[in-house]
């Protein structure tokens, strides 16, 4: 029997995902028509003999309960939300809920960071780990990055023949390796012994040193610095390199990128989720597009590629949408153009409006390039070009242009906006 843990953090995390995370927890932000971590859940339930999924974070239960109920009824495995009393770090949460994870004695458990998106090769990862589980405590999924970008990730030196991780540094300041940690792991239960030792040492230090970090809880443990780094070189961590698509989802920019890739994955796995233009939605579709069945779309609209349209959205005549996410109950007035943008829940775009952003996709000319997560502002203090984001219940007047701008929720705009953040 197998289990999986999805680490989702809490409301103080994911600030770079604002304003989209202002009214919906980031793990529930819809990408390709599904809440972000539902893609994790689907990857987990595809693994044979996986019986339980535990979601760990410090969001209030009320924000996740409906989602957990929906998931529980949709999939035939046990899905639970375990709320940390405070931010315990990526390993602290695992250790805190170790009894829940250990109960029923699973052969192993997966751990998935909630803010990555990928074509998760979980079965492959488990098979690899199982064959080597006599000596190893964990297997990390790794992927290749560019030399320059590797510094933004956890870097691993991996022995080519044994695939042991011989050295691990989280976000090094100088080059270590182009093999990076994907935030996707499989653990043997024995890992809790090592976590326990580490936990005890940390506790002692915490109470011994008056100058300890008072902002962090005594049980605060980070998987990367507190577990991976010390275990590297002991022969107890292995790495499995994948060439599948993988990306972090830190900023709103990456939601458009993730949307495109998840839609692409539907072609093989869930073709029924892709719009064809032949069924209820009679408009022109340029693949890949996901349209919720409850959306109303005029037959003269042209949608795609890489567009997701949420429930109860209304799209009028002559609208063009490309590389964008339209969230539930949004309204797009006739003849408008939406390009590289996210339209928030309940927002309204008038007629002949142009809502346009600039994508920051991985450099297609560099092999293994990852999504850049540029800072919001450049060195001159000006806004870097980014996708355009409308928070929820924003209204855009007819005939205006919104270019590379971010509009916070509940704003009624009265003019065109270029390269601005509207509070």
Partner 1 sequence: MGNEGGMRALILVGGYGTRLRPLTLSRPKPLVEFANKPILLHQVEALVKVGVTEVILAVSYRAEQMEQELTVEAEKLGVNMIFSHETEPLGTAGPIALARDHIKKSDKPFFVLNSDIICDFPFQKLIDFHKAHGKEGTIVVTKVEEPSKYGVVVYDDKKCIESFVEKPQEFISNKINAGLYVLNPSVINRIELRPTSIEKEVFPSMAKDNELYAFELEGFWMDVGQPKDFLTGMCLYLKHLRNSNQDKLYSGPGVIGNVLVDSTAKIGKSCQIGPNVTIGPGVVIEDGVCIKRSTVLRDAVIRSNTWLENCIIGWKCSVGQWVRMEGNTVLGEDVIVKDETYINGGQVLPHKNIGDSVRTPQIIM
- Binding residues with partner 1: total (CB under 8 A): 17
Neighbours of 278 (CB within 10 A): 8
Backbone angles phi, psi at 199, to 5 degrees: -60, -45
Among 22, 82, 151, 317, binds partner 1 (CB under 8 A): 317
Nearer CB in complex with partner 1: 77/401? 401
Residue 320 sits in the site that holds partner 1 (CB under 8 A):
yes
Per-residue interface string for the shown chain with partner 1, residues 328-367, x marking contact by CB under 8 A: ------xx-x-x-----------xx-x-x-----------
Nearer CB in complex with partner 1: 6/390? 390
* Furthest-apart CA atoms within the chain: distance in Å: 70
- Residues 55/80, Cβ–Cβ less than 8 Å: yes
Q: How far is the CB of 316 from partner 1 (least distance, A)?
A: 10
Nearer CB in complex with partner 1: 182/319? 319
Binding region for partner 1 (CB under 8 A) out of 59-67, 274-282, 313-321, 406-414: 313-321
3-state secondary structure of 120: coil
Q: How far is the CB of 328 from partner 1 (least distance, A)?
A: 24
Per-residue interface string for the shown chain with partner 1, residues 75-114, x marking contact by CB under 8 A: ----------------------------------------
DSSP annotation of 382: P
Q: How far is the CB of 401 from partner 1 (least distance, A)?
A: 6
DSSP readout, 7-72? EEE-TTS-GGGTTTTSSS-GGG-EETTEEHHHHHHHHHHTSTTEEEEEEEE-S-HHHHHHHHHHHH
Which tokens is 85 given? 């009393």
Nearer CB in complex with partner 1: 164/316? 316
Angle between helices 89-96 and 191-208 (to 10 degrees): 110
Helix (H) or strand (E) holding 289: strand 289-291
Which tokens is 251 given? 């900023």
Per-residue interface string for the shown chain with partner 1, residues 255-274, x marking contact by CB under 8 A: --------------------
Q: How far is the CB of 356 from partner 1 (least distance, A)?
A: 7
Q: How far is the CB of 252 from partner 1 (least distance, A)?
A: 21
Nearer CB in complex with partner 1: 162/282? 282
Nearer CB in complex with partner 1: 361/399? 399
- Residues 374/327, Cβ–Cβ less than 8 Å: no
Please tell me the distance from the alpha carbon of residue 388 to that of residue 332, in angstroms, as a whole number. Answer: 15
Residue in this structure with the two tokens 């073709």, named with its chain if needed: 271
Q: How far is the CB of 388 from partner 1 (least distance, A)?
A: 12
Q: By CB under 8 A, what part of segment 363-422 binds partner 1?
A: 399, 401, 403, 418
Binding region for partner 1 (CB under 8 A) out of 16-24, 95-103, 229-237, 316-324: 316-324
Which tokens is 187 given? 């653990």
Which residue, among 284, 288, 282, 187, has the nearest Cα to 231 in the 3D structure?
187
Q: How far is the CB of 339 from partner 1 (least distance, A)?
A: 7
Nearer CB in complex with partner 1: 300/410? 300
| Length in residues, the chain | 423
Residues 6+ apart with CB under 8 A from 166: 157, 158, 159, 232, 233
Nearer CB in complex with partner 1: 118/413? 413
Cα torsion 42, 47, 53, 57: sign: negative
Nearer CB in complex with partner 1: 366/418? 418
- Residues 71/165, Cβ–Cβ less than 8 Å: no
Backbone angles phi, psi at 202, to 5 degrees: -60, -40
Binding region for partner 1 (CB under 8 A) out of 73-81, 99-107, 279-287, 318-326: 318-326
Nearer CB in complex with partner 1: 260/320? 320
Q: What is the contact surface with partner 1 in residues (CB under 8 A)? A: 300, 317-318, 320, 322, 334-335, 337, 339, 351-352, 354, 356, 399, 401, 403, 418
């Amino acid at each position: 029997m197998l289990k999986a843990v999805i680490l989702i953090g809490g409301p103080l995390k994911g600030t770079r995902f604002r304003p989209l995370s202002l009214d919906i927890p980031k793990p529930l932000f819809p990408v390709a028509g599904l809440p972000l971590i539902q893609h994790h859940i689907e990857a987990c339930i595809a693994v044979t003999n996986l019986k339980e999924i535990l979601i760990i974070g410090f969001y209030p239960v009320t924000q996740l309960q409906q989602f957990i109920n929906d998931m529980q009824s949709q999939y035939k495995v046990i899905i639970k939300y375990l709320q940390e009393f405070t931010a315990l770090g990526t390993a602290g949460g695992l250790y805190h809920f170790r009894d829940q994870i250990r109960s029923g004695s699973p052969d192993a458990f997966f751990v998935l960071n909630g803010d990555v998106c990928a074509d998760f090769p979980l079965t492959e990862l488990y098979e690899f780990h199982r064959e080597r589980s006599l000596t190893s405590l964990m297997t990390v999924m790794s992927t290749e990055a560019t030399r320059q970008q590797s510094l933004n990730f956890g870097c691993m030196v991996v022995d080519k023949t044994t695939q042991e991780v011989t050295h691990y540094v989280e976000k090094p300041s100088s080059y270590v390796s182009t093999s990076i940690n994907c935030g996707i792991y499989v653990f043997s239960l024995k890992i809790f012994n090592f976590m326990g030792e580490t936990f005890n040492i940390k506790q002692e230090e915490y109470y011994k040193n008056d100058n300890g970090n008072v902002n962090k809880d005594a049980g605060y443990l980070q998987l990367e610095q507190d577990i991976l780094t010390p275990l590297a070189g002991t022969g107890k961590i292995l790495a499995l390199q994948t060439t599948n698509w993988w990306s972090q989802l830190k900023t709103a920019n990456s939601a458009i990128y993730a949307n495109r890739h998840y839609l692409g994955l539907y072609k093989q796995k869930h073709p029924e989720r892709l719009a064809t233009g032949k069924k209820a939605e009679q408009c022109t579709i340029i693949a890949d597009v996901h349209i919720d069945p409850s959306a109303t779309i005029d037959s003269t609209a042209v949608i795609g590629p890489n567009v997701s349209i949420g429930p109860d959205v209304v799209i009028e005549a002559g609208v063009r949408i490309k590389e964008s996410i339209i969230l539930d109950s949004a309204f797009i007035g006739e003849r408008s153009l939406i390009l590289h943008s996210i339209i928030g829940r309940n927002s309204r775009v008038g007629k002949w409006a142009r809502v346009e952003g600039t994508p920051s996709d991985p450099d297609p000319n560099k092999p293994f390039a990852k999504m850049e997560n540029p800072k919001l502002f450049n060195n001159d203090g000006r806004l870097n070009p980014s996708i355009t984001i409308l928070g929820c219940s924003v209204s855009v007047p007819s005939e205006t242009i919104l270019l590379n701008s971010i509009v916070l929720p509940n704003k009624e705009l009265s003019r065109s906006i270029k390269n601005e953040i509207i509070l």
